[in-house]
Amino acid sequence: MLRAQQNELLTQTGPGTPMGQLFRSHWIPALLAEELPENECPPVRVKLLSERLLAFRDTDGRYGLIDEFCAHRGVSLWFGRNEHSGLRCPYHGWKYDVTGQCIEVPSEPVESGFCRKIKLKSYPLVLRGGVLWTYMGPPEQQPPLPEWEFATVPAGQSFMSKRWQESNWLQALEGGIDSSHVSFLHRSDLESDPLFKGAKGNQYNLNDAQPHFEVVESPGGLYIGARRNAENGHYYWRITQWVMPSFTMIPPRGDHPVHGHFWIPMDDENCWTWSFDYRPNRTLTEREVAVMRDGQGIHVKYIPGTFRPLANKDNDYLMDRTAQKAGKTFSGVEGFAMQDASLQESMGPIVDRTKENLVSTDNGIIMARHRLMRAAKALVEKGVIPPGVDPVHQRVRSASVILPPDQPFKDAAREHLLARPDTVHASV
């Protein structure tokens, strides 16, 4: 349970809010590189942290993320012409470069220099690992570029998708660090999805619906360990990484790629769910990429030409009660991603946490909220840089391992929880 005031603190991320300030301390994913595929391609509307923005790639290949609306009469620059190193408003011809600087006002004499007085708000937009990242905080505090392992491995070793989720970011994130739902909601998919099936760890999961948990603070966020009994008195540990504010990395299964998410607020009632799969030591196979593109694993099928899932609230998530009754799916909704999203969206745009009844196994969620509130307070009141900004905090991995009973997972699996170039991830 949270008090109403705490719920508002954590769920509101617009300009001037504490959590908005926290998000604005980090580099966050803004677009897939493929959304701006070539120089002078059409601009793309982007809404992030309750700000309407426009992304474009100019004649020289430079990326820009600027206020969506022309400073003159408030026209959306989405209708603009991307030409000759700038984006021109089609209404009266005002033109802007990738920094938002106005570089032409045709109605004014060039000599007047009037255009130099016009500048739209803009944010840096940089390409890394197939993703265009932005930093929306104070320029003088811009941190080093992100170093998440999936974004630094060679192209071909990682795959990224994104989908529109129609709920507040926090209820989506909390699903990502809630390890105990897997044995219920996703149980039918563990042994059928091509990116999950066949792992020995699945059997430990399915045989034990009451795992023991350990929640340990990490430099960037949390390690959330779930242990189940393995052979000879040993434990099967699944160790999830959460790095502030909204990165999670799910423990891998067998020889499958390792995967995870970011949840990035569009506004307070919608977020982008980013989903990545990668291999640290070799390229993804054609088959793996094909099933990811087909919406399996943690990815989704789309309504063509959009990032909206094909199964969405408008079609009741293609609910199949026959499949539910037959045990083909536990909830009647197909696929890991929409099984999660359908339930998270069903809570309403911003779930009322004053009415919830958390239990002891929800300590991962409780601790994440606790750390987010502490970090936001320290940032707002004392200017303390939040965890997760330092690239060292980003060089992490999740892991699934078998360990002797007397060893803390954090120590026994220490090297497996760090990104190590070209080494395979620890997986059972």
Partner 1 sequence: MISESARVTTAAEARFRIDAPNSRPRAVKVIALDGPSERVVKHLASREWGQASFFTASAFTAPAAAAPFSMDGWLTDLAGRTKSLIEEVESADLVVMIAASGENAQAAAIIGEACSIKSVMTTALVLGSEAQSEEGLSKSLAQLRPHAMMVVVASADEYIEDMLTALRA
Q: Which of residues 235-294 bind partner 1 (CB under 8 A)?
A: 269
Helical residues (DSSP H) of 155-234, grouped into ranges: 169-176, 182-185, 200-207
Percentage helix, strand, coil, to 5, in the chain? 30, 25, 45
Distance of CA 267 to the CA centre of its chain: 14
The residue whose two tokens read 């197939």 is 130
Smallest gap from Cβ 180 to partner 1, in A, equals 10
Number of residues that bind partner 1 (CB under 8 A): 43
Q: Is 374 in the site for partner 1 (CB under 8 A)?
A: yes
Q: Is 350 in the site for partner 1 (CB under 8 A)?
A: yes
Q: Which member of 296, 342, 394, 400 binds partner 1 (CB under 8 A)? A: 342
Using the contact rule CB under 8 A, the part of the chain among 26-34, 78-86, 157-165, 213-221 near partner 1 is 213-221
Q: Is 418 in the site for partner 1 (CB under 8 A)?
A: no
Q: Is 4 in the site for partner 1 (CB under 8 A)?
A: no
User: 417 with 397: CB under 8 angstroms?
Assistant: yes
How many Cβ atoms sit within 10 Å of the Cβ of residue 246?
A: 28
Smallest gap from Cβ 136 to partner 1, in A, equals 25
Closest to partner 1 by CB, 59 vs 306, is 306
Q: Is 349 in the site for partner 1 (CB under 8 A)?
A: yes
Q: What is the DSSP string of 113-159?
A: TGGGG-B--EE-EEEETTEEEEE-S-GGGPPPPP--HHHHSPTTSEE
Smallest gap from Cβ 362 to partner 1, in A, equals 8
Helical residues (DSSP H) of 2-71, grouped into ranges: 4-11, 18-23
Q: Is 352 in the site for partner 1 (CB under 8 A)?
A: yes
Smallest gap from Cβ 308 to partner 1, in A, equals 12
| 243, containing H or E segment | strand 235-243
Closest to partner 1 by CB, 290 vs 384, is 384
Angle 107-122-103 from CA coordinates, rounded to 5°: 25
Using the contact rule CB under 8 A, the part of the chain among 82-90, 145-153, 279-287, 364-372 near partner 1 is 364-372
Beta strands across the sheet bearing 122-123: 44-48, 51-57, 63-67, 122-123
Q: Is 348 in the site for partner 1 (CB under 8 A)?
A: yes
Residues that bind partner 1 (CB under 8 A): 1-3, 166, 210, 212-217, 269, 313-317, 342, 345-346, 348-350, 352, 355, 357-363, 366-367, 369-370, 373-374, 405-408, 411
